[in-house]
Chains A and B, each alone.
Chain A
Amino acid sequence: MSALLWLLAAVPLTAGTALLLTGRRLDRPAPALGVAAAAATLGLAVASAVLRPEASAPLFAGIRAGLRVDGLSAVMTVVVAAVTLAVLVFSAGEKDRLSQGGRFHGLMLLFAGAMLITVTATTLPLLLMAWEVMGAASWALIGFWWRQPQRTRAADTAFLTTRTADLGLYLAAGAALAGGVTALDLDALAGARGPWVHLLTAGVVAAAFGKSAQLPFSFWLSRAMQAPSPVSALLHAATMAAAGAYLLLRLHALLEATAWGGPLVAWTGAATALLLGVAAAAQRDLKQLLAASTCSQIGFMVLAAGTGGVAAGTAQLTAHAAVKAGLFLAAGAWLYALGTKQLPALRGAARAWQWVGAAFTACALALAGLPPLSLWAAKDEVLAAAFAQSAALYATGLAAAAVSAVYSVKALWYVLRETPGDAWQGYDTEESGTRRVTPLMRPPLLVLAAAAVALGVLALPGVFSALRDAVGTPDEPSPSAWQLPLSAAVALSAAWLAWRIQGRGPGPRLLRPAAVRRWAAGWLGLEQAARTLAVRPVLALARATAVFDDRVVDGAVHRAARAALTAAGLARRSDDGGVDALVRAVARTARRLGRAARRPQTGLLHQYYAQAAVGFAVLTLLLLSLR
């Protein structure tokens, strides 16, 4: 049984690694191989969801690497495997744009393997490792067309932001170890002692917010839209962005262990849902709109985690995965065909390619929260859990739901127009469009659109209670009788209003003051704030330390070297002038004395006699004086 679980993790990882390592040689068969591996993974995921296996292996001293498929993990694994398969089939259809198939499919499979480990891990170190691999794969995929520098810059921004937030998980691991959770089991984290549990919660919350692009980290998802559309569909809509929400759902017991954990998470989720929804409504780029919408919808999931609605959050996650993946793939298909993703230029796109248009319409209506589609049901369950906590949370959530209807309808309005005569002027701005949609692109879109509609059954109480039992929170509140119609009415009226206002003419009409519109369109100025508050001080600190190193540390070394040279010069001068001069003076004196000693040697006998006579006289006087 545990072999099934290891296989589930190993198949995408090894397939991905193999495709990556073989490089260009397997570019031609890579899409087929990728789809085959994804299909196998889906089979294994369904089997594990049914059989619920467990596996464990030793990792560090006293800490094991454990995998388990319980109710929450079962849903997550099936969602991840299914969306991966759909996206890889779509990528096979786009394979002439994604030229290095081996690298692409390898990275996608690697990512899928890491995500599967994340959603089935039972210990924090294993989760952390898979988390980091996800981040790395995301960086490689955002910067897939690395020859264009803006894409690599976007990848760097996304990676640095999520990685900085991931430090929270490391902090949490340390706090858990300090707080007595020596085996670092995810289920046991809520039992950490004393002040450590606060640190633990703070770390986990920070990491989850970073990965899920909640406030204040939302700006990285905007930059991540530089990735190819399949990447956006898989990573930044369905799976990785939802991983943070999954972590919070998994650790909902930890959030309840501190008094501030749940409320903080819930209010952040609600605020993100509302504010990022407003930002989505102000976007003119379809992928940016979808990205802001992703932040907003994940806000709902985070709200559910903060209020204890684990099943609601799971339902929201599943429905959102299908809906958003479908929307991104449709946007990718139009980008492939028309070479643009600006909303004004996409007018009439739904009519030109009708299957794509139909799938997009279905998913957009689901995104708007119109009954009886999937996101209406899931959102209601989330709002029910929020209402059980506080009415203010419910009101914020309801407002966010209304805003989601607004922006979904905005996108839909554009693509459902008739194609204007001068539409060709807006085409081919990003890349050269092929004016066709390949056959392989259609099936995934249709399947995802069908799922987006069919998951509306989650509204049925029987289905929802089965889900609650599966994830292990049978006492979760379910929407009461008046909440469902209220949210339906709010969504329908917001959608109708938006259609009417949009229909009054082109151009942005939805947000009145121009300054507010600009602020919202610029993603609430989050990236500028991050740059000013985080990036610039760090770079200034780095420059200061570099200067310190150059002047003080390096300078000390140089000065020591100069001092040594000066000392050497001083020693040499003192040696030359002092010691050497002394020696030379002695030699000079000896030479002079020698020359002086030669002078009596005249060879003249009489002078020798005279010297002898004088010498003897002196000697005699000396002897006499001594006596």
Chain B
Amino acid sequence: MTAALFAVLAVLAVTGAVLVFRCASMARATFALLASLVCVGGEVILLGLPYLGVVTVLMMVMEMVVMAVFMVAYMMNPAGLMPMSMVHNRRGALTISGVVFAGLAAGVLLAPWPGRVGTAPQDTTFQAGAALMGDQMLTMVTLGFALLATMVGATVLAVGRGRYDRFGDDLSRPRPDDPAGGGVGR
């Protein structure tokens, strides 16, 4: 039963992945990616990590929705009416990815994997949380900093005109310097 579930999820995941790059419509590509990643979350749950699998699924859903908005905003063609294939170096990319897959597969099949050490605890979520708060605190802190930096950086990069552009270097302008008027007067 697990094997069959695995097989189904696996096939779906790979199919979704391939479909991402074969759809002409941007919305469809986004949802294909979503499907693939949801299958990956399911695989993770299958491996006995329910929390992480659910987190993956949730995150993927939110990401894909956001991505769909951005995809349509930047690339139009939401319905895929215009056949679009913007690729470059397709043959090179195919070669490289094929070689990489062959190499990885060879590694996977030829490596002498050791036996299992220990058994999984009852509560894998607790195990993960305890590790993150204890032994892997450094990892937690680093990840926290990375997220903070990302937030700040993303805001800085994405903002077009900020307070300082509108009100001057020491925020002393009485009226904001906007190209188009309106707004709520702030």
Contact = CB atoms under 8 A, between A and B. Distances in A.
A610 B93 contact: yes
A621 B92 CA distance: 20
Interface string B105-136: 00100000000000000000000000000000
A610 B92 contact: yes
A615 B93 CA distance: 14
Contacts of A607: 89
B96 interface: yes
A617 B100 contact: yes
A613 B100 CA distance: 8
A464 to B, nearest CB: 144
Contact of B89 (A610, A617, A620): A610
Nearest to B87: A606
B85 to A, nearest CB: 15
Interface in B70-113: 88-89, 92-93, 96, 99-100, 103, 107
A614 interface: yes
Contacts of A610: 89, 92-93, 96
A397 B41 CA distance: 159
A604 B103 CA distance: 26
Contacts of B89: 606-607, 610
Interface string A224-247: 000000000000000000000000
A347 to B, nearest CB: 137
A621 B99 CA distance: 12
The secondary structure that dominates the B interface is helix
Interface string A410-432: 00000000000000000000000
Contacts, number: 18
Contacts of B99: 617
A610 B103 CA distance: 16
B115 to A, nearest CB: 20
Contacts of A624: 107
Interface in A609-627: 610, 613-614, 617, 620-621, 624
A604 B100 CA distance: 21
A416 B117 CA distance: 165
Interface in A568-627: 604, 606-607, 610, 613-614, 617, 620-621, 624
A620 B96 CA distance: 15
Nearest to B103: A617
Contacts of B107: 624
Contacts of A606: 88-89, 93
Nearest to A616: B100
Contacts of B92: 610
Interface string A342-374: 000000000000000000000000000000000
Interface of A: 604, 606-607, 610, 613-614, 617, 620-621, 624
Given A610-B92, A610-B96, A617-B99, 15 more contacts: A604-B88, A606-B88, A606-B89, A606-B93, A607-B89, A610-B89, A610-B93, A613-B96, A613-B100, A614-B96, A617-B100, A617-B103, A620-B103, A621-B103, A624-B107
Give the top 3 A-B pairs by smallest Cβ distance, nearest first. A613-B96, A610-B96, A606-B89
